[in-house]
Amino acid sequence: MNKIFIANLLGVALTAAVAQAASPTISCEIKGSNLLISYTGTLYQSSDAVNWTEVKTASSPYQIKTTDKKLFFCARESEGSGESFEPGKNAASQVKREKLDMIWIEPGTFTMGSPENEVGRAWYETPHKVTLTSGYWMSKYEVTQGLYQAVMGKNPSDQPDPWGDYHNIGFNYPVYNVSWNDAKEFCEKLTKILWENGTLPEEYEYTLPTEAQWEYACRAGTTTALNSGKNLSDSTKCPEVDEVAWYGYNTGEFDAHGSWTGNGNVSIVGKKKPNALGLYDMHGNVWEWCLDWYGAYSSSSVTDPTGPDKGTYRVTRGGSWNYDAWRCRSAARMEWIQNEYSTTIGFRVVVVPAPSKDFRVILPQSAAIPMIWIKRGTFTMGSPRDELGRPRVKEGSEDKEALHEVTLSKGFWIGKYEITQGQYQALMGKNPSHIKGSNLPVSYVSWNDAIAFCEKLTSTEKSAGRLPEGYKYTLPTEAQWEYACRAGTTTALNNGKNLTSTAACPNLDEVGWYYFYADGTLNDTLHPVGQKKPNAWGLYDMHGNVNEWCLDWYGVYSSTPVKDPTGPATGTERVHRGGCYYDSANDCRSATRWSWTPDEKYWGSGFRLALTPVQ
């Protein structure tokens, strides 16, 4: 703790809590029968130094009348949002008032395991070369009880061990009594919280480090038994370990003669020397869960290892407060059953690229709909007045494509292709299209027909247990459609190009089927999906082939920034976008808007599927 003030006569104890990486301050001054507490951050009070309550009415200096009742006060960091994740730089996240500092770890190659002459070595630490091809972030400290409480709403460390002993409870102690399953659940919930508040990019996730990531980060370039660049002078009680770790001989678990006392406890994070990367407590304090199943090492060089595909035990690394020195070496390994927990096991987290969220919806008759994940974001919807092909705006009339800023606060999935006739037939048992072909986009469907398809798919997938909770299959909103179509572009077409002509246009020919072929002849038919170039997000045929129904009623655009727009509450016509195979180039631009009544259908009307949160 940064500072401790105990005034026994006054019965008040004060401490500045570090809250992972925070550095608040706290001090006191006696004035007559009052105590003035000056602090930065947020003030908390407790009667037992375990259960803390924010003093919401407090401002610094805070005045309290002295009594014979003991009270504890601590200052903790004020709530914030953290620091952005940019590869090559350290970052931070924050949940409530608990800050989680993340250290950037560059990719590289190292020797994992230990040499045969290392003091304390175990036979299963076979040295082998490991290459990690991608950088990642690792938490500066072990996950604390304060952070775990903020994310999970509980503190498992407030439970005694099997002998009825407690091993330190408080904001800044590492959390323990957590299984591998608990640690993974924490990572998943933390990821979701930070995705939703926008402080963690959706292409990243929190998880446990692989065993290779753990040892690479722990070593920080060293090849010695400890990340301080030193080896052990003794395998049990060792002054070199004492510099960097809380272990059995400096926590009270063993006395000076090596006899067990059973008085050991975890210690506040960050009090021993960090390694060269700035990571604390990689040796000792608590064992740290890793992602891998436990297994034998490779005897040859490996790249990005993740351990066996299955197993009985999960890996833990780093040693803990009740073990000898040899168990705290950089190469030391231990295994535990993943649903078991102990007062000696906690964890540390990493931030890595999230697995692809793209997936396939499996339909009857082996049909499938590939779905592409679209992350949330902000874009400019509509078109500039000078865009070739844009409708002219007469004075006093509606500007159908008025430029305005749109923010989509939640990600969603959208079909990689327009719904095909084969997919429609597989689910609905019929094919209304006027030009037949299994891999042609379904056509001659009304808005009502498209919604019926979405509702049936939602019901089918929900009954099969394959639908994510809180989601439904539907049509994209007009804003979702244009955002997905543009894929970051601001030009008339999603290949980053503008029209050269409003009729026949070679730039459009790259990405869409429309009224003109490249040789200038006329197109009078549908074409199989996915034959033109996709946009930057992997979506095909957003320009041409068939017009695509959107969820919205048609209405006038806002002239000011909007968030998650869904169009007017009522109307007479529904929006469709993208143009079709018999439209000219100007009708196939990213910003082009059309509308029809919900029951109308025509040769060029089709749709694309979306999977979105239920409103």
Higher pLDDT, 163 or 122: 122
Q: Name the domain boundary from 76, 103, 129.
A: 76
Whether 614 has a pLDDT exceeding 70, the answer reads yes
Contact call for residues 142 and 281 (beta carbons, < 8 A):
yes
Q: How far apart are CA 609 and CA 360, in angstroms?
A: 12
Higher pLDDT, 16 or 222: 222
Averaged over 100-105, what is the pLDDT? 96
- pLDDT bucket at 255, cuts 50 / 70 / 90: confident
Task: Count the domains in the chain.
Answer: 3
Residues 416 and 267 in one domain: no
Q: What's the confidence (pLDDT) of residue 50? A: 61
Q: Is residue 288 part of a domain?
A: yes
Residues 309 and 371 in one domain: no
Q: Is residue 165 part of a domain?
A: yes
Residues 105 and 13 in one domain: no
Q: Name the domain boundary from 76, 108, 126.
A: 76
Q: What's the confidence (pLDDT) of residue 132? A: 97
Whether 124 has a pLDDT exceeding 90, the answer reads yes
Q: Is residue 82 part of a domain?
A: no
Q: Is residue 479 part of a domain?
A: yes
Whether 83 has a pLDDT exceeding 60, the answer reads yes
Residues 548 and 563 in one domain: yes
- pLDDT bucket at 260, cuts 50 / 70 / 90: confident
Q: Is residue 85 part of a domain?
A: no
Averaged over 358-366, what is the pLDDT? 90
| 440's tokens | 């042609």
Whether 419 has a pLDDT exceeding 50, the answer reads yes
Backbone angles phi, psi at 575, to 5 degrees: -75, 140
Contact call for residues 345 and 336 (beta carbons, < 8 A):
yes
Q: How far apart are CA 178 and CA 320, in angstroms?
A: 14
b/e for 25-39, b at 16 or more Cβ within 10 A?
A: ebebeeeeeebebeb
Q: Which residues pair with 350 in a beta bridge?
A: 138, 207
Averaged over 409-433, what is the pLDDT? 96
Q: How far is CA 53 from CA 43, 77, 336, 462, in A?
A: 9, 14, 36, 43
Q: How far apart are CA 137 and CA 245, in angstroms?
A: 22
Whether 305 has a pLDDT exceeding 50, the answer reads yes
All residues at 6 or more sequence positions from 49 whose CB lies less than 8 Å from its CB, including other chains: 13, 72, 170
Q: In this predicted model, what pLDDT tens digit does every residue of 261-280 receive, in sequence order?
A: 878 899 999 999 999 999 99
3-state secondary structure of 138: strand
What percentage of residues in the chain have a pLDDT greater than 70?
94
Q: In this predicted model, what pLDDT tens digit does every residue of 481-518 receive, in sequence order?
A: 999 999 999 999 999 999 999 999 999 999 999 999 98
Q: How far apart are CA 427 and CA 449, in angstroms?
A: 12
Q: What is the mean pLDDT of the chain?
A: 91
Side chain identity at residue 134, one-letter code: S
Predicted TM-score of the model (pTM): 0.67
- pLDDT bucket at 155, cuts 50 / 70 / 90: very high
Q: In this predicted model, what pLDDT tens digit does every residue of 554-610 receive, in sequence order?
A: 999 999 999 999 999 999 999 999 999 999 999 999 999 999 999 999 999 999 999
Whether 441 has a pLDDT exceeding 70, the answer reads yes
Q: What's the confidence (pLDDT) of residue 12? A: 44
Q: In this predicted model, what pLDDT tens digit does every residue of 39-77 receive, in sequence order?
A: 877 788 877 666 677 787 777 788 888 776 777 777 775
CATH number at residue 585: 3.90.1580.10
Q: What's the confidence (pLDDT) of residue 49? A: 67
Least confident of 252-261, 341-350, 547-556: 252-261
Q: What's the confidence (pLDDT) of residue 96? A: 86
Residues 445 and 527 in one domain: yes
Q: Which long-range contacts (CB under 8 A, 24 or more apart) does 231-235 make?
A: 231/118, 231/119, 232/118, 232/119, 232/120, 232/325, 232/326, 232/329, 233/119, 234/119, 234/325, 235/119, 235/120, 235/324, 235/325, 235/326
Residues 246 and 378 in one domain: no
What percentage of residues in the chain have a pLDDT greater than 90?
74
Whether 25 has a pLDDT exceeding 90, the answer reads no
Q: What's the confidence (pLDDT) of residue 14? A: 47
Q: What's the confidence (pLDDT) of residue 606? A: 98
Q: What's the confidence (pLDDT) of residue 163? A: 82
Q: Is residue 599 part of a domain?
A: yes
Q: What's the confidence (pLDDT) of residue 78? A: 53
User: Is the bond into 61 cis (omega within 30 degrees of 0)?
Assistant: yes
Residues 416 and 461 in one domain: yes
Whether 21 has a pLDDT exceeding 50, the answer reads no
Whether 20 has a pLDDT exceeding 70, the answer reads no
Residues 204 and 315 in one domain: yes
C-beta atoms surrounding 47 within 10 Å? 12
Residues 267 and 381 in one domain: no
**CA within 13 Å, CB half, 251:** 30
Residues 155 and 64 in one domain: no
Q: Name the domain boundary from 52, 76, 100.
A: 76
Domain span at 347: 91-353
Q: Is residue 81 part of a domain?
A: no
- pLDDT bucket at 228, cuts 50 / 70 / 90: very high
Least confident of 84-98, 145-159, 413-427: 84-98
Q: What's the confidence (pLDDT) of residue 5? A: 35
Residues 435 and 295 in one domain: no
Q: What's the confidence (pLDDT) of residue 451? A: 98
Q: Is residue 238 part of a domain?
A: yes
Residues 496 and 586 in one domain: yes
| 608's tokens | 């694309």
